[in-house]
Amino acid sequence: MRTRREFLVACVAVSSCASANVGRPAPQSDRRIRIGVVGGGFGASFLWHEHPNCVVTAVSDLRADRRDILRDRFRCNSVYLSLEEMLRRARDLDAVAVFTGAPDHYRHVEMCMNRGFHVISAVPAVMTLEEANKLKHLKESTGLRYMMAETSYYRGPTIYARELYRQGAFGELFYTELEYYHDGGERRELPLDRKSRLYEPDGSRSWRWGLPPMNYPTHSLGFLVGVTRERITRVSCLGWGPDEPGRLDNVYRNPFSSQSSIMQTDRGHISRCNVFWLVAGIAERAQWFGSKGTLYMENMDVHPDTWRSNELRASMKRITVPDYWNSNMLPVAMRHQSGHGNSHTFLTAEFINALVENREPAVDVYEALAMTVPGIVAHQSSLRNGEQLAVPSFDKSPSA
């Protein structure tokens, strides 16, 4: 039975999260990071131009309309037709933000780092185990900074959960439920919408056509790895998929529209990790279950963020997660709402702050691979009828 002191410690942990400025304060420095941005879709939603230590000095996209978006968004007139051209001609770069299609992430990161630039990339970091090994060695051989822009890491409830975990309020955090549901309704019926994300403007299929759900696992795994820094060591996964038009005959040879896995961590803990493409719903959320307390992340209009302790007669307690974007974690100009649960300003600031302070970013290459690789292995498991498979580690080499 818990002592009264243990219960009070847990209560203090919960209440202190509501007011604390959790995380590193913004640096005080005159150094300016010169960044190039490639990818005018998702890449245009980040806030490089608002950070006082950053200036956008080059932008690029293969599409003219997206080049225009980047030029106008960041007020940058150094516009290039391709990443290759930007890397060849730009003379005023320290770092590159890679927001291209998922299958191109490793190749584009490699191009940038081989030219001596630090890199932040969109998720996932890699698509294969071979790429995971290459990215690890690329970072260690160059000594450059790499960060993955995982939005779940900086959602308010995740920051809140990290602080609860740091203070011991969960007790042993032995089980998590991780969910990324992105309804792909445009995949269901013929004729398919040619303006959807399944197609490029020229009518060809985009990289999203038939993408295995578990090849895009980081929005789920970010809720676990990003809180406890555990590593997934084993996984069993099952998949489901009807013959919906927007998946058939895909380059990935993927038969699944939705996948559900059970994962085991290096601490013997359990996680249920889901990624669904074909589902009547949308969510990026988690639930953290501990021996002393449990945190339920808001589920749309079904229930609010909720905390429950195991104290006798304790009940579910609705909580208010702080607006962390109002804290000293961000420069003043960036203290406002942003995309993906207000995570975009934090991701922008963390990458620039890390470069200014000459340190590794929070979601560095090792955390990025820990959020990405289990999904790759999970997909392999689902192709083998749920066979439990070992997940290789890509953590830091002893000599690095």
Please write the tens of the pLDDT for every residue from 255-309.
Answer: 999 999 999 999 999 999 999 998 887 889 999 999 999 999 987 666 677 887 8
Prediction pTM value: 0.91
pLDDT on residue 341: 87
Stretch 101-130: mean pLDDT: 98
Q: Which helix (H) or strand (E) holds 222?
A: helix 218-228
pLDDT on residue 24: 64
Mean residue pLDDT of the chain comes to: 89
Backbone φ, ψ for residue 231 (5° rounding)? -120, 135
pLDDT on residue 244: 80
Q: Among the listed ranges 182-191, 219-228, 246-255, 352-361, which one has the minimum average pLDDT value?
A: 182-191
pLDDT in tens, 51-83: 999 999 999 999 999 999 999 999 999 999 999
pLDDT on residue 8: 37
pLDDT on residue 27: 66
Task: Please indicate whether residue 93 or residue 312 has the higher confidence score (pLDDT).
Answer: 93
Contact yes or no for 393/369 (Cβ under 8 A): no
Cα separation, 384 vs 319, whole angstroms: 42
- pLDDT band at 7, cuts 50/70/90? very low
pLDDT on residue 299: 75
pLDDT on residue 22: 52
Stretch 325-346: mean pLDDT: 91
4 contact partners, CB below 8 Å, separation of at least 6 = none
Give all strands of the β-sheet with 317-318 in edge-to-edge order.
317-318, 306-309, 293-296, 282-290, 173-182, 270-276, 258-265, 232-240, 389-390
Q: What is the share, in percent, of the chain residues with pLDDT greater than 90?
A: 72
The CB density around residue 326, as the number of other CB atoms within 10 Å, is: 11
**What are the residues facing 259 on neighbouring strands?**
239, 275
Cα separation, 210 vs 217, whole angstroms: 15
pLDDT in tens, 92-105: 999 999 999 999 99
pLDDT on residue 195: 75
Give all strands of the β-sheet with 54-60 in edge-to-edge order.
79-80, 54-60, 33-38, 95-98, 118-121, 146-148
pLDDT on residue 313: 52
Stretch 200-206: mean pLDDT: 89
Which region, left, alpha or beta, applies to residue 27 given φ > 0 means left and ψ of -120 to 50 means alpha? beta
157 contact partners, CB below 8 Å, separation of at least 6 = 285, 286, 295, 297, 298, 305, 321
pLDDT on residue 72: 95
The CB density around residue 400, as the number of other CB atoms within 10 Å, is: 12
Task: Please indicate whether residue 342 or residue 119 has the higher confidence score (pLDDT).
Answer: 119
Residue 43 has pLDDT above 50, yes or no: yes
Residue 359 has pLDDT above 80, yes or no: yes
**What are the residues facing 148 on neighbouring strands?**
121
Q: What is the share, in percent, of the chain residues with pLDDT greater than 70?
A: 88
- Would you kindly state where each structural domain of the chain is located, as residue ranges? 170-322+364-390
The CATH class of 170-322+364-390 is alpha beta
pLDDT on residue 183: 79
Q: Which helix (H) or strand (E) holds 64?
A: helix 64-74
Contact yes or no for 303/314 (Cβ under 8 A): no
Token duo for residue 63: 């599409």
pLDDT on residue 301: 61
Residue 15 has pLDDT above 50, yes or no: no
Task: Please indicate whether residue 318 or residue 62 has the higher confidence score (pLDDT).
Answer: 62
